[in-house]
Amino acid sequence: MSSKLRLNKYIASSGICSRRKADELIENGYVNVNGKTIKELGYLISEKDKVFVEGKLIHPLKHEYYKFYKPAGYITTADDEKGRKTIYDILPEELKKLKPAGRLDKDSTGLLILTNDGDLINELTHPSVKIPKIYHVTVDGFVTEANINKMAEGFEIETGKMAYADVQILERTKKATSMEITLYQGLNRQIRKMFDFLGFQVVSLKRIQHATITLEGLKRGEFKPIKPKQIKELKIFLSRSIN
């Protein structure tokens, strides 16, 4: 760290939390720099400073970024009180320290971005930022243009929760409809709940893209590092989306 850095960004770079959570820790008096409690959100530090969060000395992590093709049958969490299988049951030990940017439900497949960059996770998932997530979805039955328009206009899937989706038909018969669906929200099981409301059952649901990162080059259950160039492009995209 060759220049001054904002304290909240330094904390987030350690991987313990997002920058927004770091702000809360600072405001609540849980952050100490060189023996002094700091509550100033814009406080700047240098590479010589020692930062403690809740009494523990922290250091910036080397950020890691992976993409993973989640198979069906696994939930997106580190552990589960019900004893269900999680993605960490099939990920190698070196990736078990990484967290997913968002979730896919047990029956869904597709792209998960795994990282120890808390700031990036927050930017990809915060509800105030409209980041596109693209899915390939097949439902039973014939989805009409009226259904598609209804999804674009939005409707309430839970009390006080309006859901919207952009839908493009890929293939349609009387028995089944395959679509590409883009979401800009992160509501729990949103696609399944929207089709349930419209009277359709989801047969398959696969996320193929999150922001600028795609599933390309992966088979089910596989993972690979995201290239530095792709991370740079992703961060540029996010900065434009947030600003």
- pLDDT tens, residue by residue, 98-107: 999 999 999 9
Residue 87 token pair:
């993605």
Q: Hey, what CATH class is 133-210 in?
A: alpha beta
Please state, in angstroms and rounded to a whole number, the distance separating the CA atoms of residues 164 and 149.
Answer: 10
80: pLDDT strictly greater than 70:
yes
How much is the average pLDDT of 116-126? 88
Q: What ranges do the domains of the chain cover?
A: 5-57, 65-127+212-242, 133-210
The model's pTM: 0.83
Residue 168's Cβ-side half-sphere holds a number of Cα atoms within 13 Å equal to 7
How much is the average pLDDT of 20-25? 92
Question: Helix crossing, 145-153 with 190-198: angle to 10°?
Answer: 130
Average of per-residue pLDDT values in the chain: 93
Amino acid making up residue 211: A
Residue 163 token pair:
């859901």
Catalytic residue list contains 119: no
DSSP 17: S
Please state, in angstroms and rounded to a whole number, the distance separating the CA atoms of residues 150 and 208.
Answer: 23
Same fold for the pair 5-57 and 133-210: no
Size of the chain, expressed as the number of residues it contains: 243
Catalytic residue selected from 23, 105, 107, 166: 105
The architecture that CATH gives domain 65-127+212-242 is: 2-Layer Sandwich (3.30)
pLDDT on residue 20: 86
| CATH T-level fold of 5-57 | 3.10.290
pLDDT on residue 243: 63
